[in-house]
Structure 1
Amino acid sequence: MCLEGLLTAIYAVATDSTTIGLVIGIATTFTSAILTYNYRQNKEKEKLVGALTAEIGQMRGIEQCANSMEKRNSKPSEGGLDPDSLPPGKSIPTVVYESNAGRIGLLDQETQDKYVEFYSKVIQYKSIMSAARSDGGVPDADLDDLYNSIEELSETRKSLIDEEHGDNLE
């Protein structure tokens, strides 16, 4: 008897129009919150990728360095390196990446990997170039790594820009 009474009470509450309205209202609010959250997350991702791509577009020093290395007849460890042939550090900005590093997790794994790998190399080579321009105390292995890899980094730069903006690279 007790169970039957409980079921009757639950049925009465569940079929009450106020309860149905409340459940629909809660479900609608919950669904709306999830959709709004997803929309905002997607907008944040788009803004982050756009900002990173814009910064990458400003990294003209990478292309300058690649052109300079391409004109060489030998590796820097074999023929020396004129520090003036390297671009200044400001021609390879990384401020957007560095100030948004904590937000990279918003991106899908493949996109994260692409940007982190690219920027890791950029920061490494930017450091090598800055050291070579200031005092020249850079190990030959680092200079040779820069010489051997800067063209690939330049190509990666172009492909990241092309992925976001099409073929509008300067």
Structure 2
Amino acid sequence: MSSLLNPFATFVYDPVNIPTINFETQRQGEVVHLMLRQDAITNVPWITITLIAIFIPGQIITLLNSLPSEFSALNILALFSEPEWTLISFVYGLAIFYYAFINVVSWFFNVVLVTNIRVVDVNFQAPFHTQTTQAQLQEIQDVRYTQGGIWGIIFNFGNLYIQTAGTNQNIHLKYIPNPNIVQEHIVKLLP
């Protein structure tokens, strides 16, 4: 990808004015018209969980240290030595980092490309597996979208369903931004 393209963009549209997007299985003469990721707002739940997981141990330690001496039996801090607490803290921090890392990588690498020839859906599955589904434009029979829930309406994201002919795999795109524009654009590209 060109350095002019925002690497965290969720909706890249306009094949004339955007930098050229290239991908591994791109064919001769194939031009990317749309590049999509899940809407950025869909990252809020895992970011919230990560932040809570980071701050909870400090709050628990503060609470336990503030207990009166008659509740010393509840103080789990005395159960482990300092090196053991260091190891426990390191493993806990590593688990939080892994959770956040997998979510960032999964969001970043789950990409949909709509070209002048096909729709390519690249799904990254943790920890390091990728599944690619594609539908040739001439095989697409129906393109429809749903946009439900208060968050989907407020932040303008939804799901897009691409139905293909025969036994070819259908494509279901979740939480993409501007699903109505994506649907219209794919329908315009159909032969």
Q: Do both share a fold (TM > 0.5)?
A: no
**TM-score, with length taken from structure 1:** 0.35
Normalized per residue, which structure has more strand? Answer: 2
Normalized per residue, which structure has more helix? Answer: 1
